[in-house]
Amino acid sequence: MPAATQTPARLGFRMPAEWEPQEAVWLSWPHRLATWPGSFRPIPGVFAQIAAHISRREKVRINLAPRLLPRARSLIARAGADLANVEFYNHPTNDAWCRDHGPIFVRGARTGEVAVTDWEYNAWGGKYPPFDRDNRIPRLTARALGLRRFEGGMVLEGGSIDVNGSGLLLTTEACLLNKNRNPGLSRGQIEERLGQFLGVKKVLWLGDGIAGDDTDGHVDDLARFFSEDGIVTAVERNRRDVNHRALAENLERLRSMRTPSGGRFRIATLPMPAPVLHEAERLPASYANFLVINGAVLMPAFRQPRRDREAAQVLGSCFPGREVIAIDCLELVRGLGTLHCVTQQQPACRP
């Protein structure tokens, strides 16, 4: 059978939306001090809190080297996790950004089979070597779970895309068209590859990302689907803020886009937090970096009571029936990412 017929899409696989039923959420346990220079000490505790919240609703699966296991287990237990839902895997990593180095899961529309798509990972254009262990995580995951694995054949990070589960994918030109990812591929070729491996029929392109984002503009800091025809997008109301123009332009693009049936998308606007700085450096703090899990939405909070509360209200209206749980990410964002960046959902076998 020709190789082209073996792509996930041809075999009936698609990437589910994040709000569809999940079996588990994956984390990669933090250990690289340089990711949070001078600020690492509280980070494992933040990961433990994230794991604990997830464990009360579904499984948590954690990549880590064996030497990290005793401390990780102790912190997670202390955070009040349901330990029956916490699993540890001997998968050493270079860093903790599981959204980007972990597998992107797909599911068979007819069979319910869950499979792994395994893309190349180069630490956001080679910025943070080494990344060889991170790049092996999808292969190790597929082997550990006994899942079928498909090699995507290009550089792709999970945080650079968002899907509605029905054929639409949201991404940015700043990231996917950056020459530090796939210089030999055109826009059309990238769209074709996304279609073949994630079951995508149409790619919606936004422009630039936010200040402080070392990923070159990941969409999970900007705009996310909350339904098949609904998108929640970050806006900066302060016209003098460095993020105002890029976010306003992305909002205009969204307003001009059409659903497959020709209608307009339902667009909800999400406030940006006030600037979060560390040693005078602007950090990529964004409420759009939320994680949807079974029955809840985990939202990054930045110790800004009014804006944190407003963001929670917006997300609550986007995801009715789910509890919005704010998790303090002020220390976590010093590593240049928050909740969505450190997690990767695994869909349930059956929707």
Q: Catalytic amino acids?
A: 341
Main-chain dihedrals φ then ψ at residue 179, nearest 5 degrees:
-70, -10
DSSP element (H, E) containing 52: helix 43-55
Bridge partners of 162, per DSSP, are 170
Q: Compute the distance between CA of residue 99 and CA of residue 49 in angstroms, rounded to an integer.
A: 17
Please, is 12 exposed, middle or buried when counting C-beta atoms within 10 Å of its C-beta (0-12, 13-18, 19+)?
A: middle
DSSP string, 107-165: EETTT--EEEEEEE--HHHHTS---HHHHHHHHHHHHHHT--EEEEEEE--GGG-EE-S
Q: CA gyration radius for the chain?
A: 19
DSSP secondary structure letter of residue 334? G
Reported as type and span, the H/E element at residue 239 is none
**CB-based contact 337:218 (threshold 8 Å):** no
**Contact (CB, 8 A) for 319 and 292:** yes
- Cα–Cα distance measured from residue 285 to residue 221, given in angstroms and rounded to the nearest whole number: 8
Q: Which two tokens stand for residue 182?
A: 């796939």
Tokens of 22: 């999940």
Contact assessment for residue 137 and residue 102, using Cβ atoms and an 8 Å cutoff:
yes
Three-state secondary-structure class, residue 346 = strand
CB-side exposure of 323: number of CA atoms within 13 Å? 9
Question: How many other CB atoms are found less than 10 A from the CB of residue 179?
Answer: 8
